[in-house]
Amino acid sequence: MSKFGISLLRRCSLYLGLAATLLFSACDSGAGVALSSAGGSLKILATTSMIGDIAARIAGPHATVESLMGPGVDPHLYKTSESDVRRLENADLILYNGLNLEGKMGEIFEALSRSRRVVAVSKDITAAELRTPPEFKGHHDPHIWFDVKLWSTVVGPIRRELSSLDPAHAADYVKNAETVAQELSSLDAWVESHVAMIPADRRILVTAHDAFGYFGRRYQVEVVALQGISTVAEFSVHDVERLTQRIVERKVPAVFIESSVPRRNIEAVQKACEAKGHKVSIGGELFSDAMGAAGTPEGTYRGMVEHNVRLILQALR
Amino acid sequence: MNAPLTIILTGALVAASCSLVGTFLVLRKMALLGDAISHAVLPGIVIAFLFTNSLASFPALVGASVVGIATVFLVEALHRSRRLYEDTSIGVVFPALFSLGVILVSVYAGQVHIDTDCVLYGEIGLSNLDEWIVGGKSLGPRSIWVTGGVMLFDLLFVLAFYKELKLVSFDPDLAASIGYSPMLVHYLLMTVVSITVVASFESVGSILVVAMLVVPPAAAYLLSAQLINMILIAIAIAVASSAAGYAFARSVDCSIAGAMAFSAGLFFLAAFFASPRNGLVARIVLRWRLRERLTRQLLLLHLKARVTVEEARTLQPEDLVVRFGWSRSRIDRAVRRLRANGLIESSGGRLWLTQAGKAALDREGTAVLAHR
């Protein structure tokens, strides 16, 4: 066999391996998740499971709600599977987060909203309520679901869309939406009261990437992240140094890992703190960009929020 | 147009145009250029964002195209300096550009979600949802227009410069000596590759493009020694991979682009093992045949050398086992074949050359075996 032939084989087997990895990682993530198998006639498709959970509660038995991004899927790295294509094609209503959470897919949805029922659930939120980096006007932080009060504003657009899509059951949707809004409001109060149990000087949440900005703002927790919103720029030595300094100064007892970001990032910070003589524990794994597996308590929006808050309380109190 | 058809057609168009230009890359030992461009475009996207404050795909596409062309020009210029090999030139250029992008993100845009995956790279599964709307009227999926346009552009380029491309791909020195400019043709080719790759990234994402640029041409390279056939086979494999990949994605419900690239890989493996000319199986068969013929030649010459002496009729196959170190079965196969051709005879475990065998050997030498 010629040398060139062998190098070709190597090169191609590299791509084959790469494609296979991509293929099976997409298969493993279980693609879509059925959130309500009630078997209603309407088909509703949500991008994230957080949206899907709220939509399923409002729709009740009148619709089947599915979400594209299953547990542990980073919304920025989501790839469509073949069945997702059909789900997108057949959905009566597509709900997405907006604010650039879905990247290029969000752009396609925005254009599609002119010809089909495609709605960004964040549409009722005004710019003033959003977190925006001062130097980039209009580029808001999309992680709106960790401020429970802010998240309850997604109920409105979902109820309106369902009612206009299916006027016959509008009364049910209004009733369900009220229930959901009330639940969210009591969840908000629950989070507030629990976070209040943490002494004010220890209310500092250290995470891998900047997904908890809204949480921090609403519940007066100082949030410090190793990385910004974009994860393409790997954290620098300076970032670790800055974060370590902060942790040691404030005597932060625990740092947190996230379900969709590699844990070694935050472990690097832990090591750096230890080198400075401050022992910081890992408080556990917070759900950030995706909920837990369907069927578990963390597989609902409420369960996910409660899990995170309990974990934070336990570690920081 | 329905979703599966749009997706297969988009995949086939991307795969075909990538294979068309990829064939020349494989011949130039620059197959990894697509991979390099996929990383190198990052600074283009960041700079486009910093200028326009928009994460829409159009500015990103413009930024990426400019940097894509810069990438291939830098690679070409470095290689042209004759101080570095092709792969080293590629390996030096793209990390430099990618790291520039990373630095720009971390210094200027860490609080905005910006990376190639979410700003530039398209997703083939969404291609039927992304319609091209002009004046309120839908003209069908944008991806078909973009990838179809790229395919047409590539086809026209290759048709217009076929002779030049062929000559500079195989013998740039000859091309230069008879008045063609290999440099001009190479720069043109690299520009076309860069445009093809960046536009395809925007439509279908990176894995499909990177794979189709290399894998079908590589398979075709093993199947044909002629440029035109290589191109046609590469395109055929590319189109088949798109259709087969979709079917595969449907049956196991997985990433469509991944399944298409994977299918191309399977076609390559099939070519690698089963190519009639270059395949592993063909090579093994050829080697076996040559060995067998050599055995027969040596056996004949050995018999001929001994035929004059008295011991001729005393030669036994076991002597050959000792003398040549051949296995008994190898000798038996050779003896059977030579007897069937009437060149030797054996009786009572002894071997000798027949009169006919002796005459033929005197006349033609071992060429007597050429067709037997």
- Tell me the chain A residues in contact with residue B259 when contact means C-beta distances shorter than 8 Å: 19, 23, 82
Least confident among A102-106, B46-50, B67-71, B116-120: B116-120
Give residue B314's pLDDT. Answer: 66
The percentage of residues in chain A with a pLDDT greater than 70, rounded to a whole number, is 84
Residue type, B94: F
Q: Give the mean pLDDT of chain A.
A: 84
Q: Which residues partner with B345 through β-bridges? A: B352
Which architecture, in CATH terms, is A28-187? 3-Layer(aba) Sandwich (3.40)
CA-nearest residue to B222 within chain A is A5
Nearest to B125 among A84, A135, A138 (CB): A84
Nearest to B252 among A27, A80, A133 (CB): A27
Give residue B178's pLDDT. Answer: 87
Give residue B298's pLDDT. Answer: 85
A20 vs B: CB within 8 A:
yes
pLDDT interval class at B345 (50, 70, 90): confident
Q: Are strands A254-258 and B131-134 parallel, antiparallel or unpaired?
A: unpaired
Both structure tokens of B39: 């990383």
Does domain B3-277 fall into CATH 1.10.3470.10? yes
Give residue A16's pLDDT. Answer: 60
Give residue A230's pLDDT. Answer: 59
Least confident among A69-83, A199-213, B73-87, B174-188: A69-83
From A39's Cα to the closest Cα of chain B, the distance in A is: 22
Q: At what angle do helices B86-108 and B42-52 cross, to 10 degrees?
A: 30
CA distance A143 to B74: 40
- Chain A residues 109-138 with a CB less than 8 Å from chain B: 109, 111-112, 114-115, 133, 135-138
B130 vs A: CB within 8 A:
yes
CATH superfamily membership of A192-316: Nitrogenase molybdenum iron protein domain (3.40.50.1980)
pLDDT tens-digit series, residues B240-281? 999 999 999 999 999 999 999 999 999 999 999 998 877 888
Nearest to B105 among A2, A89, A233 (CB): A233
From B108's Cα to the closest Cα of chain A, the distance in A is: 9
pLDDT at residue B218 tops 60: yes
pLDDT tens-digit series, residues A240-285? 888 888 889 888 999 998 876 677 778 888 888 998 888 888 888 8
- Its pTM stands at 0.80
The percentage of residues in chain B with a pLDDT greater than 70, rounded to a whole number, is 96
Look at B346 and B104; give whichever has higher pLDDT: B104
Q: Could you tell me the end-to-end alpha-carbon distance of chain B, in angstroms, rounded to an integer?
A: 60
> What is the complex's ipTM, to 2 decimals?
0.73
CB neighbours of residue B327 within 10 Å = 10
Same-fold call for A28-187 versus A192-316: yes
Least confident among A11-15, A275-279, B69-73, B154-158: A11-15
Query: What is the mean pLDDT of the segment spanning A65-92?
Result: 86
Give residue A37's pLDDT. Answer: 45
Please report, for chain A, the start and end positions of each structural domain, with discontinuous segments joined by +.
Answer: 1-27, 28-187, 192-316
A28 vs B: CB within 8 A:
no
CB contact under 8 A, A15 and B256: no
Give residue A9's pLDDT. Answer: 58
Give residue A27's pLDDT. Answer: 47
Nearest to A11 among B115, B214, B249 (CB): B214
Nearest to A26 among B42, B56, B255 (CB): B255
Both structure tokens of A280: 């910081």
B347 vs A: CB within 8 A:
no
Give residue A74's pLDDT. Answer: 76
B133 vs A: CB within 8 A:
yes
According to the 3-state scheme, what is the secondary structure of A150-184? HHHHHHHHHHHHHHHHCHHHHHHHHHHHHHHHHHH
pLDDT at residue A39 tops 90: no
Give residue A21's pLDDT. Answer: 60
B110 vs A: CB within 8 A:
yes
DSSP class per residue in A95-108: EE--TTTTTHHHHH
CB neighbours of residue B53 within 10 Å = 14
Nearest to A12 among B120, B268, B278 (CB): B268
Does domain B281-369 fall into CATH 1.10.10.10? yes
CB contact under 8 A, A85 and B246: no
Give residue A217's pLDDT. Answer: 94
CB contact under 8 A, B255 and A1: no
pLDDT interval class at A231 (50, 70, 90): low
- Chain A residues 134-163 with a CB less than 8 Å from chain B: 135-139, 141-142
The percentage of residues in chain B with a pLDDT greater than 90, rounded to a whole number, is 52
Query: What is the mean pLDDT of the segment spanning A87-107?
Result: 91
pLDDT at residue B309 tops 60: no
CB neighbours of residue A171 within 10 Å = 10
How many H-runs (helices) and E-runs (strands) does chain B carry? 17, 4
* Highest mean pLDDT of the ranges A40-49, A178-187, A295-304, B348-357: A178-187
A34 vs B: CB within 8 A:
no
Backbone angles phi, psi at B291, to 5 degrees: -65, -45
Least confident among A22-31, A43-52, B38-47, B162-171: A22-31
Pick from B58, B113, B120, B213 the residue to mutate for testing the A interface (most A CBs within 10 Å).
Answer: B113
pLDDT tens-digit series, residues B135-177? 878 888 999 999 999 999 999 999 999 999 999 988 888 888 8
Looking at chain A, list the stretches that DSSP marks H as alpha helix, in order from N- to C-terminal side.
Answer: 3-28, 49-59, 82-90, 104-112, 148-151, 155-165, 170-196, 213-219, 237-250, 264-275, 301-316
B279 vs A: CB within 8 A:
no
Look at B223 and A230; give whichever has higher pLDDT: B223
Give residue B371's pLDDT. Answer: 60
Residue type, B346: S
CB contact under 8 A, B259 and A23: yes
CB contact under 8 A, B253 and A1: no
Look at A311 and B308; give whichever has higher pLDDT: A311
Pick from B23, B97, B107, B111 the residue to mutate for testing the A interface (most A CBs within 10 Å).
Answer: B111
- Interface A-B, measured as beta-carbon pairs within 8 A, has a size of 198
pLDDT interval class at B312 (50, 70, 90): low
Please report, for chain B, the start and end positions of each structural domain, with discontinuous segments joined by +.
Answer: 3-277, 281-369
Give residue B237's pLDDT. Answer: 97
CA distance A220 to B89: 52
Give residue A30's pLDDT. Answer: 40
From A20's Cα to the closest Cα of chain B, the distance in A is: 6
Q: Which residues partner with B123 through β-bridges? A: none
pLDDT tens-digit series, residues A147-177? 999 999 999 999 999 999 999 999 999 999 9
The percentage of residues in chain A with a pLDDT greater than 90, rounded to a whole number, is 46
Beta carbons of A115 and B138 less than 8 angstroms apart = yes
Beta carbons of A303 and A35 less than 8 angstroms apart = no
CB contact under 8 A, A139 and B53: yes
Could you tell me which of A262, A256, A145, A136 has the C-alpha nearest to residue A206?
A256
pLDDT interval class at A234 (50, 70, 90): low
Give residue A95's pLDDT. Answer: 97
From A178's Cα to the closest Cα of chain B, the distance in A is: 33
Q: Are strands B137-141 and B131-134 parallel, antiparallel or unpaired?
A: antiparallel
- Chain B residues 239-258 with a CB less than 8 Å from chain A: 246, 249-250, 252-258
Pick from B170, B210, B214, B254 the residue to mutate for testing the A interface (most A CBs within 10 Å).
Answer: B254
